[in-house]
């Protein structure tokens, strides 16, 4: 089995880990659900129609919003959710950009 990198070379390991961290941190963001609405559109130029979007509630109000990604397009995705007037912040990660 051929290795992609030499795990004994600390410089190569550091480069690979830094690349992974950069890829993850550059493809994340935050949004809040729209009040008194049942959908929220999140715009992000890194999103493509083939992206995988993962959302994470940031408080109890957000966790109880029954939020889900209802559609994904080039440059944005739509989150379906219950209507409310409380603050409901989320974080998101985009994979497959």
How do the domains of the chain map onto residue ranges?
29-95
The structure's pTM equals 0.77
Identify the CA nearest to 51 among candidates 8, 94, 3. Answer: 94
Distance between start and end Cα atoms, the chain: 29
Better pLDDT: 97 or 14: 14
pLDDT tens-digit readout, 72-81: 999 999 999 9
Q: What is the pLDDT of residues 15-38, one digit of tens each?
A: 888 877 776 667 899 999 999 999
What confidence tier does 8 reach under pLDDT thresholds 50, 70, 90? confident
**Average pLDDT over every residue of 44-69:** 96
CA–CA distance, 77 with 43 (Å, rounded to integer): 7
Rounded to 5 degrees, what are φ and ψ at 23?
-65, -40
């Amino acid at each position: 089995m051929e290795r992609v990198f030499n795990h004994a070379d600390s410089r190569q390991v550091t480069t690979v880990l830094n690349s992974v961290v950069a890829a993850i941190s550059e493809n994340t963001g935050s949004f809040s659900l729209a009040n008194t609405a049942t959908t929220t559109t999140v715009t992000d130029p890194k999103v493509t129609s083939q992206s995988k979007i993962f959302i994470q509630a940031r408080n109890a109000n957000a966790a109880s919003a029954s939020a889900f990604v209802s559609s994904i397009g080039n440059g944005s995705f739509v989150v379906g959710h219950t209507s409310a007037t409380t603050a409901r912040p989320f974080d998101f990660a985009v994979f497959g950009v």
